[in-house]
Amino acid sequence: MSHYDYIIIGAGSAGCVLANRLSENPNHSVLLLEAGPSDKRFFVQMPIGYGKTFYQPKVNWMYTSMASDGLNGRTSYWPRGKTLGGSSSINAMVYVRGHKQDFDDWSNAGNKGWGYDEVLPYFKRMESWQHGEDAFRGGSGPLNVSDVSANLHPLCKHFVAAGEALGFTYNADMNGVKQEGVGYYQLTTHQGQRMSAARAYLKPARKRPNLTVVCESLVQRIVFEGKRAVAVEYEHNGSSHRAHGAKEICLSAGAVNSPQLLQLSGIGPGQVLKKAGVVPVHESPAVGQHLQDHIGHSYFYRANQPTLNQQLRPWWGKLWYGLRYVLTRTGPLSLSVNQAGGFVHTRAGLDRPNIQLYFSPLSYTKAPAGERPMMNPDPFPAYLMGVSNCRVKSEGQINITSGDANVAPNIEPNYLAHDEEIQDLLEGVKLIRQFAQTSQLQAITIDEMRPGADCLTDAQLIEDIRNNADTVYHPCGTCRMGPDPTQNVVDSALKVHGLEAIRVVDASIFPNLICGNINAATIMVAEKAADLILSEHELA
């Protein structure tokens, strides 16, 4: 049996950060276990390659949720990263911190130390913002964040101008002084390549002799002696292994796999464990509960001038832009297709944005349901505008049905269970049409392809939302942080309530879903967690 000071389960957005920070001290021995393979793959490193990895089982868990009544009984496809870097290696790379009040909400829920003023230093520490450090941005962190506004498709300027015409403020930095407004999304890219957590944090730490990284290692369970986590059992190369953690075991497997692994280890709701045939170790009723996720919906418009469709669809376009990317790391393949957008209020009386906007200068209306073939878009000029809800009240759950780690858990999102969420999205799609009617977008638009002119009444718009809206891949909350162990899984130090030597460090600990994309906040959580862990053991 191997012995380490720290064992980290999951080399995703959070696990890579922990591996780096905990191994900075050469006296600490660290083991990082990852179920997937190395991230040394062309379509992982090429930014627009996420259109390929979206359906690659080698690097993607490719989960399917249970049906949601709020989506008229539809299931949802849930891609989750299964490689070094986790979902930061297959996501759309949009860098959004969240609204400052989101983190004050965390603190006000009883999580001391997690307010905006306390987490801002960690956001600054983690990033290397292209335009350098200021009061809100970091300039020398491991994670490169790029301003790609000068390289985006020219149609994006029409969207931003339309937003200004509607009275929304242009915001050059939605991660700076304020989040509200319209503008261009920043990306976690650097020199034309994806800047995943693996590239930012793990790659520079791999040379350290005190850090051991084992890929393609599926953890079966965490072993406890009494209430103390002492070891991890995992499968690698067809055989079983056990590693002992002297100081702590850190669970960073993500919003799906972290609650799954706790339950497989006997930590969770008693009835869930009993049905799955798992011997209980500790009753923790909130494990797998309080699942939250954003829901998005897009409208498609036929354009009267070229979009990315004309660059990426024809064979010669693929050849030309492929060669350009290989030789210079520039061009559309070096970007995300989520290029412009913003955060806005759709009605008065709100203390923060309730809708996130998206503008993509391409379309894929002829693709099979749920697919996003970035390299094979529609054969005609078109673009899309989308919305997603910022404030989520609906809660679902993730529970195991078997004691076998190879069996995927049941994912029950319970989407759109609250009328307020439907109201937000209804107002959001009406806002899309207001954008489309501005002179700035009318100048480039032929007509609305989907849902089309026949979809007019509130009832029709809501039905279209329920029939077509879907996840934007931001699950969190399934190992929620909070002081009450009957309602939460971890405390404000991310320790599992009632247990010793085990913490959860990833998006599953979010007390509530933040406003916007969640990858940046997940990395921030791991940066803060590393300080919590190291300070405790240095004082011991």
Give the residue numbers annotated as catalytic, written as ranges.
474
Could you count the other beta carbons within 10 Å of the beta carbon of residue 321?
Answer: 20
Helix axes 519-539, 13-22, angle to 10 degrees: 30
Percentages helix, strand, coil for the chain (3-state, rounded to 5) are 30, 25, 45
Q: Is 191 exposed, middle or buried (0-12, 13-18, 19+ CB in 10 A)?
A: exposed
Token couple for 275: 């049905």
The sign one gets for the Cα dihedral 389, 340, 59, 210 is: negative
Closest CA to 424 of 465, 473, 457: 465
**Cα distances (Å, whole numbers) of residue 69 to 343, 394, 396, 466:** 28, 12, 12, 9
Residues 6+ apart with CB under 8 A from 404: none
Q: What is the residue-wise DSSP string for 393-459?
A: ---BEEE-SSS-TTSPPEEE--TT-SHHHHHHHHHHHHHHHHHHHSHHHHTTEEEEEES-TT--SHH
Rounded CA-CA distance 373/485 in Å is 44
Query: What are the two backbone dihedrals, phi and then psi, of residue 132, each rounded to the nearest 5 degrees?
Result: 90, 175
User: Contact at 8 Å (CB) between 43 and 53?
Assistant: yes
Rounded CA-CA distance 60/30 in Å is 25
Rounded CA-CA distance 389/350 in Å is 13
Rounded CA-CA distance 27/182 in Å is 48
Q: How many CA atoms lie within 13 A of 433 on its CB side?
A: 15
At 288, which helix (H) or strand (E)? none
Rounded CA-CA distance 224/504 in Å is 15
Rounded CA-CA distance 537/25 in Å is 12
Which residues, listed in sequence order, are joined to residue 225 by a DSSP beta bridge?
228
